[in-house]
Structure 1
Amino acid sequence: MSSVLPGELVPAQHVNLKLGPGLLRQSSLNGQPLVISTRAGEVHHTTNRSRWWIEGNSRRYVPAPQESVVGVVVGRSGENWKVDIGSSHTATLDGLAFEGATKRNRPNLKVGSLLFARVSLAHKDMEPELECFDAQTRKAEGHGELKGGFLVQCSLKMCRMLLDPNHFLFPLLGSRFPLESAIGMNGRVWISAKDPRQVIAIARCIEAVDPDGGGMDEAAAKKFFSTLDV
């Protein structure tokens, strides 16, 4: 793991190289591809080094292809919906970008509806585009409209932490009561539980563990949870 500044070269190489947020592929004078950073932060990669990305402390979400996000429908334009995903531009969602959707059978979304979607297109000079299915399998795989529940705002880093299967928070809460969640890479977490007190407890725990909030570790989070009326 190393830190980089915008414009620095990153030694990302792989036969099936995939670049995540903060990295850009360019061609050099001899035609060889170069990877440069577009933001300041720490360089990360998967174990087999096929996927590379940069983690920073940016507060505004910058869309990247194939990332899952939680969005809010803010309007409609023809057959498409405009969705706020917390980026500098609203995203576009095609009315047919759902599992099993047809011109006669499509979701009836309203302004204010919550969505768990995947970024299908992201370019700095264009509006992001979303889809609520996997383009290859045409299956939703958990994406679509989120009904009920509660939306929690947190830091982008907190969302990445919650997506780590080894992170302690959701296993800790899930051992106390059933819950559902949808974690977007855009600093939004949708949560749902049977009792409103449980929903409030989940939200307060996320805020307490968030590095931009309380920054609690596992021991402190357990102690904090024990003080909540759940």
Structure 2
Amino acid sequence: MPVVLPGEVIQTQHKTIKLGPGLQQISNPEEKTAMTVTRAGTLEQNAKGNQFWVEGNSRRYVPAAQEPVIGIVSARQGEGWRVDIGYAHQASLDGLAFEGASRRNRPNLKVNSLVYARVSLAHKDMEPELECFDAQTRKAEGFGELKGGFLVRCSLKMSRNLLNPNYFLLPLLGSRFPLDTALGTNGRVWISAKEVKQIIVAARCIEAADPDGGGMDQNAIKKFISTLDL
């Protein structure tokens, strides 16, 4: 993937695209869609070629609209909550931003509760906003409070690796034991399994495969798992 620098303008033939961290869409008199780079790194895109982001070595998450994140409730705020998503500013989560929520029926989140949410608003001059449902279906689709399990922190690069369906690690772990996961682009992974030792194995494998950690490949991870107590 090409290395890009702040200020570079990139054009694509796709009329509808999704922009992740490091990119900002700009108006363009031509038919093409144009975006400008806001941070240095490598330009990445998904298999369909309609989602772009800049992968750098930044350790602080910068929210982008539509991205899934795992947040930690830090305080109650009016009819909603303040949520830590690893950004410089806290995000806000409205009490009605859940499937089927109403004035009389809404979640009762406590401080330090974990939530799996989607970034609904991300602007450099405004605090991020979250919602716990799919924007198109208005259904939870896995978003909401995360109960039990264990939170693993990893690099932003690793979190995007895990979100890639072609990445080897989660299918490899799933072939050894059943587990549930919630994957955030903000360097947080939630893991739940039947046994505590299985959660520990999954957490250690994520740390071992993390490019900022051991950086192990598939063969090395298989050998590593064989040394663990399962």
Q: Is the structural similarity TM-score above 0.5? A: yes
Structure 2 gap segments, 5+ residues each = none
TM-score by length of 1: 0.95
CA RMSD across the alignment: 1.3
Q: Residue type matched to 2:158 in 1? A: M
* Structure 1 gaps, min length 5: none
1:228 to 2:201 alignment: no
The question of whether the paired residues in 2 share the 8 Å contact of 1:13 and 1:50 is answered with no
After TM superposition, list the pairs within 5 Å mapping 1:36-185 onto structure 2: 36-185=36-185
Quote how far apart the aligned CAs of 1:137 are.
Answer: 1.5
Q: State the match for 1:210 in structure 2.
A: 210
SS at match of 2:181: strand
Change (3 A) 1:48 1:225: closer
Could you tell me how far 1:47 is from its partner in structure 2? 4.1
SS in 2 for 1:43: strand
Sequence identity percentage: 68
Deviation track 1:30-51 (CA, whole Å, cap 9, x = no partner) reads x457421001111122344332
**TM, length-normalised to structure 2:** 0.95
SS at match of 1:10: strand
Q: Deviations over 1:59-94 (max 9, x none)?
A: 000000000000000001110100000001000000
Q: Which has the higher strand share?
A: 2
* 1:10 equivalent in structure 2: 10
Output the CA distance in 2 between the equivalents of 1:48 and 1:199: 33
What is the alpha-carbon distance in structure 2 between the residues aligned to residue 91 and residue 80 of structure 1?
Answer: 11
Mapped to 2, the partners of 1:191 and 1:217 lie a distance apart of 21
Count of residue correspondences: 228
How far apart are the structure 1 equivalents of 2:182 and 2:18? 24
Mapped to 2, the partners of 1:169 and 1:75 lie a distance apart of 34
Please give the secondary structure, in 2, of the residue aligned with 1:49. coil
